[in-house]
Amino acid sequence: MRTRLASFAALLLALVALAAGTGAAQAAGYRYWSFWDLTGDNWTYATQGPASAHPGDGSVQGFRFAVSADSKDASQPRTTPSFEAVCGATPTKDGTKRVALVIDFGTPQDAGQGETPPAPRSACAQVSPDATSADALAAVAKPLRYNSAALLCAIAGYPRTGCGEQVSDPSAAKPAEPAKTDKDGGPSVGLLAGVAAVVAVGAAAIWQSRRRKN
């Protein structure tokens, strides 16, 4: 009986460890610049990259450097200034458009080793009517750095190195949440069912042992 219970405990611990490992694997993220559009007071993850987006006159766009797994959990710029707040002091000029840009360099937790993020800032880019968001950014936040796949790696020289590298997600340090279904990215239903089955088998073995003693 002791051998059965020991085997039961070992298997249960292995399954629990597997469930914990599943959550740990989800902690991986990527350190990169995300690109946003501001509508009213709400940031929306841009559907195009800055090199292909053509913002209209009066647009407000944002860039945020952070660690995130994908667009669903990407960190937004932490301020939502209006177009007037950023470009109100820049007079209109024929043959140009004005685009308000918010540049959030992120937190020390998002920074790479040896890097210190500059303070967030905003700027009004006055560019030609056919300019892309990348053109507007280049007008106010050089130097920019891109990799061979045209991924934006650095704005105003930050960060000095790296480009979309995989890292551990700081959100992994948050308090543990109740187990989720596999739709939400937590331990799968099959895994939890397996743990429940092992518990049931162990309980049955203990009950049978007590019954024999009686």
* 179 band by pLDDT with thresholds 50, 70 and 90: very low
Q: What is the pTM of this model?
A: 0.69
Dist CA 5 CA 1 (whole Å): 6
What percent of the chain has a predicted confidence (pLDDT) above 70?
66
Beta-strand runs (E) in the chain? 28-39, 42-45, 59-68, 97-104, 121-127, 145-146, 152-154, 166-168
Residues 6 or more apart whose Cβ sits within 8 Å of residue 25: none
Task: Tell me: pLDDT of 191 over 90.
Answer: no
pLDDT for res 200: 42
pLDDT for res 207: 42
* 73 band by pLDDT with thresholds 50, 70 and 90: confident
Q: Which residue do the tokens 């902690």 mark?
A: 27
Dist CA 117 CA 158 (whole Å): 7
- Is there a contact between 118 and 160 (Cβ–Cβ < 8 Å)? no
Element (H, E) at 21: helix 2-25
pLDDT for res 61: 98
Full DSSP string of 107-128: -TTTSPTT--PPPPEEEEEEE-
* 126 band by pLDDT with thresholds 50, 70 and 90: very high
Residue pLDDT, tens place only, 28-70: 799 999 999 999 999 999 999 999 999 999 999 999 999 998 8
Q: Do β-strands 59-68 and 97-104 pair in parallel, antiparallel, or remain unpaired? A: parallel
Going 52 to 84 to 139 to 165, the CA torsion angle's sign is negative
pLDDT for res 170: 53
Residue pLDDT, tens place only, 20-37: 444 444 557 999 999 999
